[in-house]
Amino acid sequence: MMNRIGIAGMALISLASAPAVAAAQRCEGTASFAGGGPRFGTSVARAPYTTTLAGEITFGRNNSLFASAGYSHTKYDNSNLFSGGLQGSLGYEFALGSRVQFCPIASVGRTSVMLFPGHGRLDMSTTAIGVGGSLGVTAASSRNFDFIPSVGLQFVAARSSTEYAVIGLPASSSKWHGTMGNLSLSSGFVLHKAITLSPMLTIPLGINHAGSMYGLGLSYSFGHDW
């Protein structure tokens, strides 16, 4: 059976891997939507015992509504096991002066994995819903370069189900639900107002012994004139 820390890890992957790509605008340390085009991004993230690759597309406008959708693929260390996840988020950017932006964001993610231990089959899935916000500051800016550090805090409600079946025996199942938090830190290096390189760190809150996720995101915003 999957313990609480394992479920928390899947919830962290469900919601943290997509925002690391390009989820918002300057409030999350990425290039703005001034060019009017969509943003495509990819990221790689590392957590205890897992490596996650993710891709995402985001649509939005400056100081307005934005939405994103993405997919993540997680590989588990020292095994051939992997899980797939779908993520989506919706938010709104508010300008707090000329250099500070704040975004309330709602996210949902679902991660599932199927294992085959011995003569059995183990199905695990986790659905996580997150509500929170992110604050970004344009610390340095020039014609071809911007440095935008950001910090985000998210409340997460997660629900997991596990089913174990062995050939010739009745299947057994269990369910778990709980809450946790995510604290995210990012440093956005924006080149030519279009390309963003983002080192990031996501720290789970409220779950003992759950490890942090750290990684690197790369995104490109279409519509900008070089």
226 assigned to some structural domain: no
From CA 221, how far away is CA 224, in angstroms rounded?
Answer: 7
pLDDT number for residue 215: 92
Query: What is the model's pLDDT at position 185?
Result: 92
Cα 70 vs. chain centroid, distance in angstroms?
9
Q: What's the domain count of the chain?
A: 1
The predicted structure's pLDDT at residue 18: 45
Residue 224: per-residue pLDDT: 57
Q: Which residue matches tokens 């409340």?
A: 155
Q: Check residue 118 and give its pLDDT.
A: 62
pLDDT at residue 138, rounded to an integer: 92
Residue 161's domain comprises: 4-221
Residue 62: predicted pLDDT: 80
Low-confidence ranges of the chain (pLDDT < 70): 1-25, 34-36, 115-120, 168-169, 209, 223-226
Residue 171 included in any domain = yes
The helix/strand/coil state of 28 is: helix
Q: Is 186 within the bounds of a domain? A: yes
Q: Identify the CATH number of the domain in which residue 130 sits.
A: 2.40.160.20
Task: Tell me if 154 sits within 8 A of 139, measured CB to CB.
Answer: no
Q: Does a structural domain hold residue 217?
A: yes
Q: Structure tokens of 146?
A: 């911007």
How much is the pTM? 0.80
Query: In a 3-state reduction of DSSP, which class is residue 30?
Result: coil
Do the domain assignments include residue 11?
yes
How far apart are the C-alpha atoms of 60 and 23, rounded to whole Å?
10
Eight-state DSSP code of residue 38: -
